[in-house]
Structure 1
Amino acid sequence: MSLVLCNGLLGCVHGPPPEPSADTDALGVAFAELAANLQSVEASIRNSNSFRDPPEQVGGYRHVLRSLAKSLEAEVIQDADYPYFRILDFWLREGGDNPDQRYAFSPIRGGETYRVWGEMGSAVRVEIQIYAGRPWAGEGRSAGYLAFEDIEVSDDGSFEIYISPEKHAGNWLDSPEDATTIFARHIFDVWNDSDTGDIHIDRVGYEGARRASETPDELAVRIQNAAAMFKATAETWPAFVARRYVAATAPNTVTAPRDTYALGGVRGRWMSGGYFELDPGEALLLRLPASQAKYQGIQLADMWFASLEYGNQLSSLNTTQSVLSPDGAYYYVISQKDPGFANWLDSGDLLRGIFLLRWDGIVGAIPEDQFPTAREISLDDVAKQIPGFTEVTEDDRKRVRSQRRRHLQHRSHR
């Protein structure tokens, strides 16, 4: 089955777009490239190992559409001279996104000066990072990082950071010549009605400048860049899941924690995880010892590496939200059916998926006695396997889901 492209004026186009002739305008050539990438990506997704059953197929097409929306916003709408942050939230989920974080991205011109400003709100951490290229796709590097511990925050929770080639007083990050993207994170451990803060960006010297209209050639380049980003985004994550999880580990096991900085992550952030494959009557029980981390959390993602619904579904928890067992560890249960345990991660209708564990603020390495463990158990045995089993009711679940939804409405301004 091929993807069908429809346009209110031109009707529907089936099959690959026609080859542009030598005298075709730049916009036509660029749009044809985007259309061709849509069809090639659809074929790739349908041939993926992640496209196995109806829930995974729905996830696959949602992954394609989210990748397209993200790429159009990033490459066609955003502008490095007149920047606004693009927010990755529950609408456009990708890349193992953490439900406890609000991600903000903006293109920048390497070697130029930018001012980032905002408010902490109820976030426990704010971080700023510079990308050169696309390290998440293996095509670039993490070119700079400002940890929360290194950011001066005013008493009212506001902050200001300069990104420039020359050192600036106060909070500052170098702007290397190959820099392409600035990436900010607000990290939340409590989801409630409190103000969630905000973040903004300006290119210094352009705050009041008039933005000129773009030419057809300029827009064509933007469309071509969007086509390339769309293809990279849509094909990178299922391939990553297949390589990093399915081919590298057995199902229902957990890897040793590893430092993420070399992969475009941040200093002091360690991650672990695995993939679950469970029948409806089964559960995966994870044990996570308490650690020195300033933030520790766990979440679920689908086989396309997008976080599961997390506003109206309990698919993520951090240690602030979790119950600690008497043995000094956090136990988490992954299953389709609610086991009645406080630290339940709801996999929805997925029989397979990814689980991700994060530790932030790690100094040195995580000792082996704090490594996570995992084992598959019967859902009927959950209460017997967890020290100090803490039972919750469906009314408790509804209350928590309502709180999470309300927090996300504040956080996303939606």
Structure 2
Amino acid sequence: MNGRTIAAAALGQFKTARLAYLRLRGRTPDDVAEQRVASGASWDEFCDTLKSAGAALVFPGTPTDPLTQAEGYRYLSRLTRAGLEAFVEYADPTAPVLRRMVHETVKMGSDNPDNHYLNATIDGTLEYRITGTRGTVDYLGFGTQEGHYGEGGQMPTTGYVEAADLEIGSDGRFELVLSATEHSGNWLPMTPATGLLIVRQTFADRSTEVPADLRIELLDGSSAPGPLTAAALDAGLGKASLLVAGASLLFAKWARDFQKHTNELPMFDPERSTKAGGDPNIIYYHSYWRLGPDEVLVIDSEIPECDGWNFQLDNHWMESLDYRHHTVHVNKHTATYRPDGTVRIVVAHRDPGTDNWIDTTGHECGAMTFRWIRATTHPQPRTRVVSMSALSQLD
């Protein structure tokens, strides 16, 4: 099943729902939702869309080895869990909750191992306030966005602000207002179409840094979520299943396209990145890697003046590899630098006995990402594949 088949299936589901609505014309949308839930149509369409998401596992360019396929099905299950939490459990913008949607066991879109992500469902026609303490985490950014990965991969940023630009008290406390109309003091812009808040906390050293302690509330006072309604469940199941199908297909396409420059690190289009939900202050180098049993990938780069940088390995599904138990990334703080200030990173299946070794954790291929955060320049990382025995002979 390809992307056109998925689209056709989704269109068929829409037509079915539309016909049902026409048969019930004259009734309210809540009445229609109640009928769909009571008849099982909402659940059936949710399950059908999840089933269609399996097309990502046979998308052109997808490896068929047991590890990649097993991770692929686990990936779909993780996206399902993320979608249900986002659109069913925490979907009420009048009772917002900052929570971790992407973390150690839910990953997507080359999630950054150095990041502690927080998300909240919001409504751009309302106004919110974030309060808390700054902590000591190296980088803290707040972004508002439209859409989600189930809506064609478009998540344009509607506002962005960093902690470095905020007024913060000597005790580390601050307030940040989110609104579509300009607000005095610390302000994070939204538009009426805004629906998502993303907070990125980027660690340089997780072992010593303290993350920000944050909470969000409506400016006129957040309330506890009301009783579940059929309309909310119907909408939530639909959005959750579209997230699974949409995100898996989007990143399957990216992984296929990245294979055109395997073992290289070209700069990713910044405009495309921002539209897909990337941090507007980061320049990304997305690509694909593939190594034989005795091959290593050597990455050399100059390091510009910047707030931070890192390099990471992903699997084919653009999930970061297991950074809890393996060294799969390196950053500005953890890297060992060469005498001239440059950095050499070595990607290998086993420890080559060099600095900055990145472990492939049993994978033969996958995606990879290099990031510059607020860099004054953007040097092009240089790559080459050599044998393990030839590694020690390099300059």
Please, which of 13, 30, 35 is the counterpart of residue 25 of structure 1? Answer: 35
Q: Which runs of 5+ in 1 are unaligned?
A: 1-18, 387-414
SS at match of 2:174: strand
Structure 1 residues 171-210: aligned runs within 5 Å: 171-207=186-222, 209-210=223-224
In the other structure, the counterpart of 1:170 is 185
CA contact (8 A) 2:124 2:190 kept: yes
Structure 1 position 358 matched with structure 2 position 371: yes
Please, which of 296, 301, 304 is the counterpart of residue 283 of structure 1? Answer: 296
In the other structure, the counterpart of 1:404 is none
Deviations 1:120-173 (A, max 9, x none): 323111101111123794434211111333122332333321101333232102
Structure 1 residues 14-413: aligned runs within 5 Å: 25-27=35-37, 28-78=40-90, 79-87=92-100, 88-134=102-148, 137-207=152-222, 209-243=223-257, 245-247=258-260, 249=261, 251-256=262-267, 258-259=269-270, 260-363=273-376, 365-366=377-378, 370-385=379-394
SS at match of 2:175: strand
Q: Which runs of 4+ in 1 moved over 4 A?
A: 19-24
Q: d(CA) in 2 for partners of 1:181 and 1:382?
A: 46
Q: d(CA) in 2 for partners of 1:181 and 1:46?
A: 31
Query: More displaced, 146-155 or 95-104?
Result: 146-155
CA contact (8 A) 1:120 1:186 kept: no
CA contact (8 A) 2:138 2:209 kept: no
Query: More displaced, 138-147 or 232-241?
Result: 138-147
SS at match of 2:390: helix
How big is the shift at 1:62? 1.5
How big is the shift at 1:263? 4.2
Q: d(CA) in 2 for partners of 1:48 and 1:349?
A: 23
Q: d(CA) in 2 for partners of 1:121 and 1:31?
A: 43
Q: d(CA) in 1 for partners of 2:116 and 2:383?
A: 29
Q: d(CA) in 1 for partners of 2:368 and 2:224?
A: 47
CA contact (8 A) 1:112 1:175 kept: no
SS at match of 2:120: strand
**Structure 1 residues 73 and 51 mapped into 2: Cα distance closer, same or farther (>3 Å)?**
farther
Deviations 1:210-244 (A, max 9, x none): 5321222332222122122221122211112112x
Deviations 1:98-121 (A, max 9, x none): 011111111111121011223332
Which amino acid is the alignment partner of residue 29 of structure 1?
Answer: A
Deviations 1:59-98 (A, max 9, x none): 2111111111111011001121101123121111111100
Query: More displaced, 232-241 or 95-104?
Result: 232-241
CA contact (8 A) 1:26 1:217 kept: no
Q: d(CA) in 1 for partners of 2:208 and 2:51?
A: 43
Q: d(CA) in 2 for partners of 1:237 and 1:349?
A: 21
Deviations 1:283-341 (A, max 9, x none): 00000211111101100111101100001110011021010011321100111111111
CA RMSD of aligned residues (A): 2.4
Q: d(CA) in 2 for partners of 1:48 and 1:72?
A: 28
Paired positions, count: 362
In the other structure, the counterpart of 1:401 is none
CA contact (8 A) 1:280 1:337 kept: no
Q: d(CA) in 1 for partners of 2:156 and 2:36?
A: 31
How big is the shift at 1:342? 2.2
| Percentage identity across paired residues of the two chains | 24
CA contact (8 A) 2:154 2:276 kept: no
Q: d(CA) in 2 for partners of 1:43 and 1:360?
A: 35
TM-score by length of 1: 0.81
CA contact (8 A) 2:95 2:224 kept: no
Q: d(CA) in 1 for partners of 2:310 and 2:144?
A: 24
**Structure 1 residues 292 and 263 mapped into 2: Cα distance closer, same or farther (>3 Å)?**
farther
CA contact (8 A) 2:317 2:367 kept: no
TM-score by length of 2: 0.85
SS at match of 2:156: strand
Q: d(CA) in 1 for partners of 2:136 and 2:189?
A: 28
How big is the shift at 1:47? 4.3
**Structure 1 residues 120 and 91 mapped into 2: Cα distance closer, same or farther (>3 Å)?**
farther
**Structure 1 residues 275 and 158 mapped into 2: Cα distance closer, same or farther (>3 Å)?**
same
How big is the shift at 1:48? 4.8
SS at match of 2:147: strand
How big is the shift at 1:174? 2.1
Q: d(CA) in 1 for partners of 2:309 and 2:229?
A: 48
Which amino acid is the alignment partner of residue 276 of structure 1?
Answer: W
